[in-house]
């Protein structure tokens, strides 16, 4: 706070300023951060699904339809989902390769 060595939180003479700031902060947090419901919710199973979700989220954020905190959460969770989808896909590919190698080895042994 100007003219004081103390901040608003610790300055006993600034109690009214602190109370007004706290009150305003509480009012700003009252609005719900709900995403608009898509007409046909889709499962997120592929990287293309994740990319589509991120694209829609960006558009809704830019259009002012989606709250920035919610968009940030969706972005974070989409990143985690992308890693899971990629890991599952790699595991499937490795299993397919292992099966192919085992088949080839069995043919050679017979």
Same domain, yes or no: 39 and 87: yes
Relative orientation angle of helices 68-109 and 47-62, to the nearest 10 degrees? 170
Pairwise pLDDT comparison (38 vs 1), residue with the higher score:
38
Cβ neighbors of 41 (< 8 A, separation 6 or more) are none
pLDDT score for 23: 61
Same domain flag for 69 and 105: yes
Residues 8, 22 within the same domain:
yes
> pLDDT value at position 39?
61
Is 25 found in the same domain as 67? no
Question: Do 14 and 1 meet the contact criterion of CB atoms below 8 Å apart?
Answer: yes
Q: Are residues 43 and 2 in the same domain?
A: no
Q: Taking all residues of the chain, what is their mean pLDDT, rounded to a whole number?
A: 84
State CA 60 to chain mean position distance. 14
Residues 81 and 47 in one domain: yes
| Domain co-membership, 44 together with 61 | yes
Number of domains in the chain: 2
Judge if 5 and 43 occupy the same domain: no
CA angle 61, 63, 67 (to 5 degrees): 35
- What percentage of the chain exceeds 90 in pLDDT? 54
62 and 95 in a single domain? The answer is yes
Burial of 57 (0-12, 13-18, 19+ CB in 10 A): buried
**Could you list the residue range(s) of the whole structural domain that residue 7 is in?**
1-30
Q: Is the pLDDT of residue 79 over 90?
A: yes
Amino acid 11: pLDDT: 76
Task: Give the pLDDT of residue 53.
Answer: 93
* Same-domain pairing of 74 and 50: yes
Looking at the structure, tell me whether residues 39 and 25 fall in a common domain: no
Q: What is the mean pLDDT of residues 66-89?
A: 94
Reported pTM: 0.60
């Amino acid at each position: 706070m100007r003219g004081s060595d103390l901040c608003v939180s610790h300055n006993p003479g600034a109690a009214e300023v602190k109370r007004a700031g706290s009150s305003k902060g509480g009012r700003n947090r009252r609005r719900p951060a709900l995403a608009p419901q898509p007409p046909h919710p889709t499962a997120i199973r592929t990287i293309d699904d994740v990319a589509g979700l991120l694209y829609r989220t960006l558009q809704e954020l830019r259009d002012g339809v989606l709250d920035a905190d919610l968009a940030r959460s969706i972005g974070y969770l989409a990143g985690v989902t992308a890693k899971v989808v990629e890991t599952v896909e790699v595991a499937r590919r490795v299993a397919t390769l292992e099966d192919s190698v085992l088949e080839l080895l069995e043919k050679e042994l017979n």
